[in-house]
Amino acid sequence: MNTTTSSKVKEFLYPGKIKGFRIDFERENGKALCFLLIVGLVISLCSFLYELTRSSGFPDGTRTLEYLIFFSVSVALLFSYRKEIIKDGTTTLYVWICLLLVWSLFMTAGERPDYPSYLFFFFILTLPLLIRDAWGNVLILTLVFAVAFIIVDFNFKESSMFSLNMVHLVACVSATLYLSQRMIHERITFMENSFTATDKADHDALTGVYNRRGGEHLISNYVANGVTGAFMLVDIDNFKHINDHYGHAEGDQTLRQIAACLQENFRDTDVVMRMGGDEFIVYAVGMADLNHVVSRLENTKAALHKIKLGSGGEYVTASIGCVINLGSYPDYDTLSAAADKLLYLVKEEGKDNFKCSAIEYKPE
């Protein structure tokens, strides 16, 4: 098998896209685990009560012991997962499904040699509904238990029933693998489309940075959770003149260059957003040292000066009001209002400059 074919097979079995949604799949598998455990608790409890009503006293026998063990383990696992003692829902789900398959395998094989193994087939067919994982992992799990079923069935079932079960097994395994591949593929496609739609809704179509909706949401969460940072309100000087003198096409190109300049001068973890028009906001996450912030503002000012307008020697300037949030600001609006006051002072003093404050917020 050449490298290209091998890569295609690997991508089919273990799609690289699934890594980007690992957290989402982990969450869904955790929900499936909880559902399976709750269903198990109900079934085992009802079955035990049924055995209790059938007998004159406390029921005995291996079946009752099975119900009690199943009930106890289900309670322990459910409690552990809910209390986050168990962190990995996907692995726990795999373990629990394997236990169910082993139990159904021997229960249906040993007790009724002349009866089809419907319980095992039922569990196999429910795999696509329970597991969200790379299809290769589901394939391995299904084939391993299919081989185990053939071995057990061959030793315990009558020959006529063994032949019938093999037909059922081929049909169930084929259906399981097909449904699993289709459901995982469709789930990844749905998540990709949802992510793309959300990403487009949160970003400015002209400049590519966050728009007001996306940027305010992120910064508000940072502020609400006490994440320190430098909040910078950037207002481009005389932008109306740029549009009037050089045209709106040049104005749009200038906005793109400004957005790119801000992104280059700050980190990927920082929030850069366009408020609308000629206003931008930057929240430099964790940047709380005054000297460091002032140095970054100086660099930003110098970088903006490198954006030339036409051929007349004009360049972009901006007025910037900056407030360092050390965790005392209660919300986005309060922080924005404080930066706006500093921006107003810069404009009064002649623009093309910045003012920065690291004073703790105190309610008036």
pLDDT value at 33 more than 60: yes
Q: How far is CA 363 from the centre of its chain?
A: 37
For the cut 90, the answer to whether the pLDDT of residue 322 exceeds it is yes
Where do the domains of the chain lie?
Answer: 3-200, 212-357
pTM score, two decimals? 0.56
Q: How confident is the model at residue 283 (pLDDT cuts 50, 70, 90)?
A: very high
Give which of 119, 116, 126 is closest to 165, Cα–Cα: 116
What is the pLDDT at residue 333? Answer: 93
Q: What pLDDT does residue 4 have?
A: 74
What is the CATH architecture of 212-357?
2-Layer Sandwich (3.30)
Q: How many helices (H) and strands (E) does the chain have?
A: 12, 7
pLDDT bin (cut points 50, 70, 90) of residue 57 is low
At residue 118, the pLDDT reads 84
Tokens of 322: 């900056």
Q: 236 and 252 in contact (C-beta within 8 Å)?
A: no
- Report whether 185 contacts 132 (CB < 8 A): no
Residues 288-299, mean pLDDT to the nearest whole number: 93
Q: In sequence order, what are the beta bridge partners of 235? A: 279, 319
Q: How confident is the model at residue 199 (pLDDT cuts 50, 70, 90)?
A: low
For the ranges 155-159, 175-179, 198-202, the lowest mean pLDDT is seen at 198-202
Beta-carbon contacts of residue 307 (< 8 Å; ≥ 6 apart): 254, 257, 258, 261, 315, 316
Percent of the chain exceeding pLDDT 70 equals: 93
Structure tokens at 82: 């809910």
Instruction: Print burial letters for 25-50: b (CB count within 10 Å at least 16), e (below 16).
Output: bbebbbebbbebbeebbeebeebbee
Supply the pLDDT for residue 254: 92
Q: What percentage of residues in the chain have a pLDDT greater than 90?
A: 35
Q: How many CB atoms lie within 10 A of CB 325?
A: 26
